[in-house]
Amino acid sequence: MDGSPAPQAGISIEALTIAYNGVPAVVDVNLQLQPGSICGLVGMNGAGKSTLFKALMGFVAPQRGSILIEGLPVAQAQRRQAVAYVPQSEQVDWNFPIRVQDVVMMGRYGRMNLLRWPRAVDREAVESALTRVDLLSLRLRQIGALSGGQRKRAFLARALAQGARVLLLDEPFTGVDIRTERLIITLLLELRQQGATVLIATHDLDTIPSFCDRVVLINRTVLAYGETSEVFTQANLLRTFGAAPQLTP
């Protein structure tokens, strides 16, 4: 033992319970995610994945339990821009008239003054993020004019521009082409290498072993959590879904 302190968890959830109108959505959830990891969040519709994300973003308050993000309560972590969220496409109003670069610049708002006047460092962060998702040439296009895969990449660029070390992605592969899927996975692997904590809700079970080093299986509570090779099994998927999905060999 060298006496050095244990690394601070990227996400720490203890005994978390959340209910809507008295109906439990998640019950007694315990989870610890370390920096430099990608965790797949897997469960049926209505299993509590979206509720868990809302709690991590401070959109819903727990009835019991606690959440820490890099050792900070959620509200404080939000103020420090410690956590970024990539939403499902269905949660976005694509008719709102805004350019791609302006969507990405939203990731910098928490680092600006009240007037939200971009500085050189903000513009550089936006350009870098757009380059990483291969959208720089489309930066002046209206967000609603993009394809489904391009829209996903734009919101991933917003998260990159924010500079958060904890990233939450809600179904990023839904409705995207194979090129976008591969680009997203490559970026997530780079972020893991850089020490980010990534939690990704996905129904695309076939891709999970290729980039998730850990998996949490949830049905209102955590059914299993650990290294993908140990947890992502047909037996555990049967517990999670009631019938084991057939994975592509």
CATH of the domain at 35: 3.40.50.300
B/e letters for 75-92, b = 16+ CB within 10 Å, e = fewer, are eebbeebbbbbbbbbeee
Q: pLDDT grade, residue 1 (50/70/90)? A: very low
What's the mean pLDDT in 81-98? 80
Give me the pLDDT at residue 111, please: 84
Residue in the structure block whose two tokens are 């006496």:
3
How far apart, in whole angstroms, are the C-alpha atoms of residue 141 and residue 97?
Answer: 10
74 Ramachandran zone, left/alpha/beta (phi>0; psi -120 to 50):
alpha
* Among 209, 114, 125, residue whose Cα is nearest residue 164: 125
Bridge partners, 168 (sequence order): 85, 199
Give me the pLDDT at residue 6, please: 53
Q: pLDDT grade, residue 214 (50/70/90)? A: very high
How far apart, in whole angstroms, are the C-alpha atoms of residue 215 and residue 209?
Answer: 9
Cα distances (angstroms) measured from residue 130 to each of 97, 145, 165, 220, 228: 19, 16, 18, 36, 31
Residue 222 forms part of a structural domain: yes
Secondary structure element (H or E) that encloses residue 230, with its range: helix 228-231
Give me the pLDDT at residue 88, please: 81
How far apart, in whole angstroms, are the C-alpha atoms of residue 29 and residue 91?
Answer: 25
pTM for this predicted structure: 0.89
Give me the pLDDT at residue 128, please: 97
pLDDT tens track for 108-129: 988 887 778 889 999 999 999 9
Residue 49 domain boundaries? 1-82+198-243
Res 216 pLDDT > 80 = yes
What's the mean pLDDT in 66-74? 95
Residue 106 forms part of a structural domain: no
* Among 199, 204, 240, 203, residue whose Cα is nearest residue 222: 240
Residue 128 forms part of a structural domain: no
Q: What percent of the chain has pLDDT over 90?
A: 67
Residue 14 forms part of a structural domain: yes
Residue 231 forms part of a structural domain: yes
Res 203 pLDDT > 90 = no
Res 225 pLDDT > 90 = yes
What's the mean pLDDT in 204-220? 93
Q: Which residue has the higher pLDDT, 218 or 7?
A: 218
Res 34 pLDDT > 50 = yes
Residue 167 forms part of a structural domain: no
Res 99 pLDDT > 90 = yes
pLDDT tens track for 145-180: 988 889 889 999 999 999 999 999 999 998 888 889
Q: If DSSP states are collapsed to H, E and C, what string results for 163-223? A: CCCEEEEECCCCCCCHHHHHHHHHHHHHHHHCCCEEEEECCCHHHHHHHCCEEEEECCCEE
Task: State the total domains in the chain.
Answer: 1
Give me the pLDDT at residue 48, please: 92
Give me the pLDDT at residue 168, please: 96
SS3 236: helix
What's the mean pLDDT in 187-192? 94
Give me the pLDDT at residue 3, please: 54
Residue 204 forms part of a structural domain: yes
Residue 90 forms part of a structural domain: no
How far apart, in whole angstroms, are the C-alpha atoms of residue 202 and residue 209?
Answer: 12
- 83's tokens: 């956590």
Res 247 pLDDT > 70 = no
